[in-house]
Each structure stands twice: as structure tokens, then as C-alpha cells.
Amino acid sequence: MKTVEIRKASTEKIQTYLDDAREDYFKLRFRFTTGQLTDHTRLKIARREIARLATILHERELEIESEGSEK
């Protein structure tokens, strides 16, 4: 999912995406450990997706905090 698409989604939806991405990453790590994962680049892609989602959520939290302190 691209960053532009993520930014258009609601905060609850992004949190759901993040939970799903973390679950997928856990499954990939398990498959990697057992030797069933042949494409190791999927681990890197999954980590980046998690980081992207977490960053956008954090930006929104900071945005809400800054709006509250300005008023």
C-alpha cells in the first residue's frame, strides 16, 4: 500500500492495517525459522510496511497533540 493511500485512510483503518501487517510479519518470521520461506526479501518489505504505518499513526498523534496545545 502506498503512503498516499494510507494517509487518506482513517486512523482506525490504519491501526487495523498495522495489526494485520504485524501478524503477517510474525508468520513470515515463523516460516523463515522453519525453513519454509524461500523469498527472504518479503521480511524486509514487511518491516518497511510496518514502519510506514507506524510513522503515519505517530504523525497523526503529534498533529492532535499540537492542535490541543495551540487552543
Please report, in tens digits, the pLDDT of each residue of the chain (71 residues total): 899 999 999 999 999 999 999 999 999 999 999 999 999 999 999 999 999 999 999 999 999 888 887 76
Architecture category of domain 3-70 in CATH: Orthogonal Bundle (1.10)
Q: CA-CA distance, 50 to 48, in Å (whole number)?
A: 5
Predicted TM-score of the model (pTM)? 0.88
What lies within 8 Å, CB to CB, of 9 at 6+ separation is 17
List Cβ<8 Å contacts ≥24 apart for 2-5: 3/52, 3/56
* 57 burial type by CB count under 10 A (0-12 exposed, 13-18 middle, 19+ buried): middle
